[in-house]
Amino acid sequence: MLIDFFYTLKKAGLPVTVKELLTLLEALDKQVVFASIDDFYLLSRLCMVKDEQHFDRFDQAFGHYFHNLEMVQGLEEFLIPHDWLNPEWVNNLTDEEKAQIEALGGFDKLMETLKKRLEEQQGKHQGGNKWIGTGGTSPFGHGGYNPEGVRIGGPGRHQRATKVWEKRQFKNLSDEVEIGTRSIKMALRHLRQFARTGAAEELDLDDTIRSTAKNAGLLDLKMRPEKHNAVKLLMFFDVGGSMDYHIEQVEQLFSAARSEFKHLEYYYFHNCVYEHLWRDNSRRWDQPLNTYDVLNTYGEDYRVIFVGDAAMSPYELTHAGGSVEHMNQEAGLIWLQRLLDKWPKHAWLNPIRQDYWDYTHSTQILKKVVDGRMYPMTLSGIEAMAKSLSA
């Protein structure tokens, strides 16, 4: 009973287990609801879904299961997560790439290929020239360059009375792929190291027994401070220019880090660190801070994270006077090396997709300089970074 329904949900990517199905059957057995599809919708959602992020997917899968006869399009199209198709990616293809775009043939052929692709494709995709997603030059998805492309996502095409699950009220709660502050916090948590600091509030049983024994059996209470996260973090953010596209991500990272670490210091730079850093981005010209001062302020026990896209002219790194903004006496790499030498526990977070790194010369240089410890700004990247920093 309801086995097909269960598998439809599973296929839609909902994390359902047999336990939930059994619960649903038990509820039906006890007649919590009876002979009403609307109530059944509510009940099955109550039993099968454990996170509001999944409500939207559930609605779609439910709609598919109970209406698949009317359905004009196939399940595959319905189950494309909507955020694959968000036009967040700024399309900056080269002319050469644009030139590669060629039409794939008539409409029928496009649809056929689309079906085939959907079966092959496993994850969200941006850029590139084959898979469905945003940007890029594939004829499927949107925001891309192929003039003969098929647009997926957008206003609904079914003109009929909508059921609750078809309203898709929970669409904006679905944030599966995108990294939210909450999940960043969880990833950063790998970087925790507990130490006892602050006021003595916890009973230290071992010490109490020891000193009570010493005290000829008269009770002598000993307290100790509670454990707190003692990791100290120093972050350098690249701002302006090409980093403008990643502001949202960086903001999330920053607010997550700020609530997770007690000792968090941060400075801004543009493209590469030089002799000046700044604390307040709007006053960077009138309140520059000497990088030497920063170098001398924080001890070696600080962990250092650089956040930047590492995309710049190679001269900004390798030559004196290479900065795009001012006349720098010493090359960027020299300054960077000073920072890296001072804080041996460092890593670089790069908001650009990892498979694009190799196309930028400066990224390759920087990756080498930080000893390969450059991580993409995805959840798994942040997690890997946190682990390498805490080692």
Residues that bind other proteins (CB under 8 A): 15, 17, 19-20, 23, 26-27, 30, 32-33, 39, 42-43, 45-47, 49-52, 55, 169-170, 173, 182-183, 186, 203, 205, 212, 217-219, 221
| Closer Cβ to other proteins, 197 or 337, answer by number | 197
Q: Treating both helix axes as pointing N-terminal to C-terminal, what angle do 332-342 and 361-369 enclose, rounded to 10 degrees? A: 30
Compare residues 18 and 69 and give the one whose CB is closer to other proteins.
18
DSSP for residue 179: P
Provide, rounded to whole angstroms, the least separation between the CB of residue 250 and other proteins: 17
Q: Nearer to other proteins by C-beta: 55 or 140?
A: 55
Q: Which is nearer to other proteins, 20 or 309 (CB)?
A: 20
Name which of 164 and 295 has its Cβ closer to other proteins. Answer: 164
Helix (H, G, I), strand (E, B) or coil at 376: strand
Distance CA 355, CA 156 (A): 34
Q: Contact, 265 vs 233, CB < 8 A?
A: yes
Q: Is 121 in contact with 132 (CB distance < 8 Å)?
A: yes
Contact 60, 168 (CB under 8 A): yes
| In the complex, minimum distance from the CB of residue 27 to other proteins, in angstroms, rounded to a whole number | 5
Distance in angstroms (rounded) separating the CA atoms of residues 163 and 37: 10
In terms of CB distance, is 37 or 103 closer to other proteins? 37
Q: Give the bridge partners for 301, in sequence order.
A: none
3-state secondary structure of 84: helix
Residue 288 has what DSSP assignment?
A: -
Q: What is the DSSP string of 127-177?
A: SSSSSSEESSS-SBEESSS-TTPBP-SSS----SPPPHHHH-TTGGG--SS
Q: Residue 333 Cβ, how far from other proteins at the closest point, in Å?
A: 39
Nearer to other proteins among residue 226 and residue 358 (C-beta) = 226
Q: In this complex, which beta carbon is closest to other proteins, that of residue 77 or of residue 204? A: 204
| H or E element, residue 67 | helix 55-67
HSE-CB of 343 using CA atoms within 13 angstroms = 26
Closest CB 209 distance from other proteins, rounded Å: 9
| Residue 72 or 216 having the CB closest to other proteins | 216
Q: Which stretch of DSSP H or E encloses residue 277?
A: strand 276-277
Minimum separation from the CB atom of position 76 to other proteins (A): 27
Q: Angle at the Cα of 12 (from 11 to 13), degrees rounded to 5?
A: 85
* 161 or 219: CB nearest other proteins: 219
Give CB contacts under 8 A, 24+ apart, made by 242-251: 242/309, 242/311, 243/308, 243/309, 243/351, 245/90, 245/351, 246/309, 246/351, 246/377, 249/179, 249/351, 249/377, 250/307, 250/351, 250/377
Identify whether the C-beta of residue 153 lies closer than 8 Å to the C-beta of residue 82. Answer: yes
Pairing type for strands 141-142 and 289-290 reads: unpaired
Closest CB 116 distance from other proteins, rounded Å: 34
